[in-house]
Structure formats: structure tokens, C-alpha cells
């Protein structure tokens, strides 16, 4: 079963917007001078008083966003519902699991749960990125897939002055891999559906060059090597999704050499509760697509009626 990876308050945010040089934009906005960073945190200033530190995140609930979704498997578009769960919690650096008390590292747990139907059986994808709330760097990143031919698991996590990785994939010639890399754990493409909520406002036509690990939402082995890509602010527009008609800002992810569009993200302009700048729409060149259907807050881990 061969499945390729899918590549896959406003006034204060404006103060963080000077992060790039002015460029002469094309239709995709992927040409011009670049502001480059290879750090583990996003290459723009992190400011206070935004969606990231809104009091809503401390209400004991989770943000539960449901999307109409499409993904191509076996050359055919498959339609399904995807759910993204996002909440704040504390992590134990020693075990890299949820802390038992109030100590530990505060993170956003951003978990995508997807069940994609095919003719004979379903593909299950679980993708969780644990992002430090202080600087939006990655604490841990886990991807698991399961379908009736086998299961694969990948994980990367911070470890002192470096980071570790482990993976087990069931295809011939793959199997288990583990190791340790120096330096901070880089940002990944899988983190962008959360981290790009923080992309500075009022930077239309500007571009940021960024080194990202590729998506690990794949049954196969995917290299743990960063790829240099570009993020482009492609402006604000009113869009319609099943959730409603909303003002959104579009951010494009592009290749640096060929200036090819890899993916587009639309985030709500409103970064106050309940939207908190949530992802409204996503499209990538491999045919993966999300459109927001519902956005609620509740303890999804609780048993019984909501």
C-alpha cells in the first residue's frame, strides 16, 4: 500500500509584522528578497496579548474543530471528516508525557484525527504536535498510521541540547530507525496548522524563508531532513466554508527554487474567542483539503453526554 506524504488583539499582532523584506509579488507571491531563519522557533517576533495567551485556553476544555476533508489514496479523492483537537497542557521533560501536576513545560497539544475510507478498508492517521506556548517551538511530534496491511509509527522529541527520533514502518527495506540529532528540534510542516495562526498581520506580499521537516503523515518512511521553503502572506479576503462566511488571511507555502506552490492556509482574522485565529481552509498540491464545519470547546476526553 504505497501512500506518498502530503506536503501536507490585531493591533499587537501588527507590531510583530516587520519580519521580511519587501518583495515584488507574483500571483503566488513566491518571488523576491527573503528573510531567512533555520531556528526551531518561527522566524518572526512572538508577541503577547494574542490568540496564544487568550484566557479561553485555561477553561479546562479543548478546541474541537471538525473539517470536511479530502485526501487522495490510490489515485482517487477520498471524502471524510477530520477533527483537530487543540488544548493547553503541561509536559514532563523527563518522560515527554503529560505532567501529573502543575509543573513542566506548557504546550499546545494539537492533534489531528483522521479516518479515510477506501474500497476495502479505512486508513487511520493520528498526528500530534506538542508546541511550546512560550515561543512556538516543538517539544514533541508524533505520527501514527494504521490500515489493514499494517501500522507505522514515527516520533521526534527534544532531548537536552539535541533531539531524538524513532520510527517503525512495515514496508520492505524500511523497519525500525532511531537516532539523535544535535541542536533544537526543527519545526515541521505538520505544525503549521497551529503555528501559522501567529504569522504577523499586515505583511501582505512579504515572504519568510524557513527550514521545515517534511510531513510524517505517511505509512512509509519519510526523511528526517529539513527542506528550505518559503511562507508568503497572500492577503486578506472573505471566504465561505461550511462553518460560515468569514474574513481570512491566506498564507502560501512555496518551494524556493522553482517558486512552486506547495500548500495554502486560510486562517480567521478574528483571533479573539471563540475563533482564536483558527484554520478555516487548507489545500495542498497533492489533493489534501480541509474546510471548517464546526468549532466547539468541550472536554472530548470525558465520558457521557457533553
Distance of CA 31 to the CA centre of its chain: 24
Q: What are the angstrom distances between the C-alpha of 241 and each of 200, 219, 238? A: 23, 30, 10
Q: Is residue 2 part of a domain?
A: no
The verdict on residue 54 lying in a domain is yes
Residue 22 belongs to some domain of the structure: yes
Domain count, the chain: 1
Q: Is residue 4 part of a domain?
A: no
Looking at the domain assignment, is residue 304 inside a domain?
Answer: no
* Residue numbers of the chain with a pLDDT score lower than 50: 1-38
In a domain, 1, yes or no: no
Distance CA 75, CA 73 (A): 5
The 3-state secondary structure of the chain, one letter per residue = CCCCCCCCCHHHHHCCCCCCCCCCCCCCCCCCCCEEECCCCCCCCCCCCCHHHCHHHHCCCEEEEEEEEEEEECCEEEEEEEEEEEEEEEEECCCCEECCCCCCEEEEEEEEEEEEECCCCEEEEEEEEEEECCCCCEEEEEEEEEECCEEEEEEEEEECCEEEEEEEECCCCCEEEEEEEECCCCCEHHHHHHHHHHCCCCCCCCEEEEEEECCCCCCCCCCCCCEEEEEEEEEEEEEEECCEEEEEEEEEEEECCCCCEEEEEEEECCCCCCCCCCEEEEEECCCCEEEEEEEEEECCCCCCCC
Look at residue 25 in the predicted model and tell me its pLDDT.
34
Boundaries of domain holding 150? 10-298
pTM over 0.85? The answer is yes
> Is 306 among the domain residues?
no
Contacts 24+ apart (CB under 8 A), 19-26: 19/43, 19/44, 19/45, 19/200, 19/203, 19/206, 19/208, 20/203, 20/206, 20/207, 20/208, 21/206, 22/205, 22/206, 23/205, 23/206, 23/207, 25/205, 25/232, 26/259
Q: Is residue 305 part of a domain?
A: no
| Contact indicator for 56, 44 with CB cutoff of 8 Å | no
Which pLDDT belongs to residue 82?
Answer: 99
Question: What are 177-220's pLDDT values in tens digits?
Answer: 999 999 999 999 999 999 999 998 877 788 899 999 999 999 99
pLDDT for the residue numbered 15: 32
Q: Select from 229, 234, 202 the least CA-distant residue to 215.
A: 229
Q: Which three cell numbers stand for residue 268?
A: 480567521
Q: What's the pLDDT at 254?
A: 96
- The pLDDT assigned to 39 comes to 58
Amino acid at each position: 500500500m504505497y501512500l506518498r506524504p502530503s506536503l501536507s488583539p490585531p493591533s499587537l499582532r501588527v507590531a510583530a509584522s516587520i519580519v521580511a523584506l519587501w518583495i515584488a509579488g507574483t500571483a503566488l507571491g513566491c518571488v523576491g528578497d527573503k528573510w531567512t531563519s533555520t531556528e526551531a522557533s518561527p522566524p518572526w517576533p512572538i508577541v503577547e496579548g494574542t490568540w496564544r495567551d487568550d484566557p479561553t485556553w485555561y477553561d479546562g476544555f479543548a478546541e474541537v474543530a471538525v473539517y470536511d476533508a479530502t485526501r487522495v489514496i490510490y489515485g482517487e479523492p477520498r471524502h471524510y471528516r477530520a477533527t483537530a483537537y487543540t488544548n493547553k497542557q503541561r509536559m514532563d521533560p523527563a518522560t515527554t508525557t503529560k505532567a501529573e501536576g502543575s509543573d513542566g513545560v506548557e504546550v499546545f497539544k494539537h492533534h489531528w484525527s483522521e479516518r479515510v475510507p477506501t474500497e476495502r478498508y479505512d486508513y487511520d492517521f493520528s498526528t500530534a504536535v506538542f508546541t511550546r506556548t512560550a515561543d512556538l517551538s516543538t517539544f514533541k511530534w508524533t505520527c501514527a498510521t494504521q490500515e489493514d496491511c499494517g501500522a507505522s509509527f514515527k516520533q521526534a522529541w527534544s532531548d537536552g541540547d539535541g533531539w531524538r527520533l524513532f520510527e517503525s514502518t512495515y514496508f520492505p527495506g524500511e523497519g525500525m530507525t532511531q537516532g539523535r540529532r544535535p541542536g533544537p528540534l526543527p519545526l515541521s510542516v505538520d505544525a503549521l496548522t497551529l503555528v501559522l495562526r501567529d504569522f504577523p498581520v499586515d505583511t501582505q506580499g512579504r515572504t519568510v524563508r524557513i527550514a521545515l521537516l517534511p510531513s510524517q503523515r505517511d505509512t512509509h518512511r519519510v526523511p528526517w531532513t529539513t527542506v528550505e521553503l518559503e511562507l508568503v502572506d497572500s492577503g486578506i479576503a472573505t471566504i465561505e466554508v461550511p462553518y460560515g462566511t468569514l474574513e481570512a488571511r491566506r498564507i502560501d507555502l512555496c518551494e524556493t527554487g522553482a517558486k512552486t506552490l506547495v500548500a495554502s492556509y486560510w486562517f480567521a482574522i478574528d483571533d479573539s474567542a471563540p475563533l482564536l485565529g483558527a484554520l478555516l481552509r487548507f489545500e495542498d498540491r497533492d489533493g489534501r483539503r480541509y474546510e471548517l464545519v464546526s468549532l466547539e470547546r468541550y472536554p472530548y476526553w470525558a465520558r457521557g453526554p457533553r
